[in-house]
Structure 1
């Protein structure tokens, strides 16, 4: 999406983008705040008092996330767009394009989390 396209969005399109940002944010927040820890505990990892970076590194070792850096980058993008920072339309359009491109990664991580749980549930 170009900055021109962004500045000419209809009210309905803006609502859809707002919903995308909201749902993307909620899913990523839930994964980062709860599900990542739960899945590592489920895999008998001792994560007591581990900082988030170490949790991400362990998830990367299990191949659940592509990389700790990638997750952090997506989180930073999400923070930029979901907070009311004063951004130029070109910046907003660029961040939205980047977030859209990261949805496959988020869905892939979600699928891997489900797979780990389902495959280990009967062990």
Structure 2
């Protein structure tokens, strides 16, 4: 009797999405297209907690809101807290090991800080 082994199940898609409140519709659309077993994170930059809206996600994808307005009343420039959150996540989950396949989508490109970060990230990923 010959037993057949099933091929290993490919790992669930890993995603990183980041944008600002102007990207909510695009993020919703991308989340709706995700495999139900996908894992990852969504970062959304908002001015403050008043802008939080509900997003339906696969169980393995977390949504994290990052705010430009601090508890001290200071306001960060558009894109600064979003870039910091994405960069820290990449440090923790992708760098320096590399070799992890992650689908990355960055919105908020009207922010010069995000556009500059996206260009640096494109160069970094191309070098891996």
- Fold agreement, TM-score > 0.5: no
Q: Bigger relative contact order, structure 1 or 2, given CA contacts below 8 A and separation 6+? A: 1
TM-score w.r.t. length of structure 1 = 0.22
Structure with greater helix share of residues: 1
TM-score w.r.t. length of structure 2 = 0.22
